[in-house]
C-alpha cells in the first residue's frame, strides 16, 4: 500500500432512522484520515479481530510479537512494553525467554482473574447487582462512543493536557489530536 489513501464520500439519501443509527460518525476511513493528519511521520497500528477469550487473546498477541521478531530476523532483542504492552511483553518473555536479551516494563498492568467467591465475600444489595449487570458491557470509552459527533469536542474539553503536550509537534493540534483520539476510540475495540 502506498502512503496515499484515497477516501470516497458516499452521497446517498438516508431516512431519519438511518441517520439516527449513524450517531457515532466514525469509520475505518475516517480513522485513517485522522491518523494520517496526526501520525504522518509515524506508523499506524491495525485493528485485528481477537477472540473474546482472555487467554486465547493473550496467546494471539504473543504470536504476533513472535511473528514480528521472525520477520525482523532477530535472534534476541531488547523488549520494552508500556501499560498493556508491558503485560504483553512480560507474557512474551515468559513464553520465549531465550529470545529476550533485556525486558523493560514501564507501568505494566494486567487484570487478575475474577475471584469465584465475590458474591459470597460481599453481600451486595440487589439494586447494586442490577446496576453492575447493566453496566458490565460498557467500558470507560463508552462515553466517547455515545457522544457521537460531539466526541471530538468532548475530548478537547476533557483532555486539554494531551493537546498541550503535543501542540509543538502537531500542526492544528487543537483539532487534529481530539479528532484522532475520537476516531481511534470510537471504533469497535479489539
Residues 6+ apart with CB under 8 A from 37: 172, 176, 179, 180
pLDDT score, position 11: 35
What's the pLDDT band for 137 if we cut at 50, 70, 90? confident
β-sheet bridge partners, residue 100 = 77
Report the alpha-carbon distance of residue 161 to residue 159 in Å, rounded.
5
Q: How far is CA 19 from the centre of its chain?
A: 26
pTM: 0.47
Give the single-character DSSP code of 112. P
**13: how many CB neighbours lie within 10 A of its CB?**
6
Report the alpha-carbon distance of residue 61 to residue 67 in Å, rounded.
10
pLDDT in tens, 148-166: 888 889 889 988 998 888 8
Q: Which long-range contacts (CB under 8 A, 24 or more apart) does 15-22 make?
A: none
pLDDT in tens, 89-130: 999 999 999 999 999 998 888 766 667 776 677 788 889 888
What's the pLDDT band for 1 if we cut at 50, 70, 90? very low
Closest to 50 in 3D by CA, of 33, 63, 41, 39: 63
Amino acid at each position: 500500500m502506498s502512503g496515499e489513501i484515497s477516501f470516497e464520500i458516499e452521497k446517498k439519501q438516508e431516512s431519519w432512522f438511518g441517520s439516527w443509527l449513524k450517531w457515532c460518525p466514525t469509520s475505518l476511513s475516517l480513522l485513517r484520515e485522522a491518523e494520517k493528519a496526526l501520525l504522518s511521520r509515524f506508523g499506524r497500528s491495525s485493528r485485528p479481530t481477537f477472540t473474546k477469550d482472555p487467554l486465547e487473546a493473550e496467546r494471539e498477541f504473543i504470536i504476533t510479537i513472535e511473528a514480528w521478531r521472525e520477520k525482523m530476523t532477530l535472534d534476541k532483542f531488547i523488549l520494552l512494553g508500556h501499560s498493556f504492552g508491558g503485560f504483553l511483553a512480560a507474557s512474551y518473555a515468559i513464553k520465549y525467554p531465550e529470545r529476550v536479551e533485556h525486558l523493560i516494563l514501564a507501568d505494566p498492568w494486567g487484570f487478575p482473574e475474577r475471584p469465584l467467591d465475590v458474591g459470597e465475600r460481599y453481600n451486595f444489595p440487589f439494586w447494586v447487582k442490577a446496576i453492575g449487570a447493566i453496566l458490565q458491557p460498557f467500558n470507560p470509552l463508552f462515553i466517547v462512543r455515545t457522544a457521537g459527533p460531539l466526541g471530538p469536542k468532548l475530548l478537547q474539553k476533557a483532555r486539554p493536557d494531551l493537546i498541550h503536550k503535543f501542540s509543538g509537534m502537531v500542526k492544528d493540534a487543537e483539532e487534529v489530536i481530539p479528532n484522532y483520539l475520537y476516531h481511534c476510540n470510537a471504533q469497535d475495540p479489539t
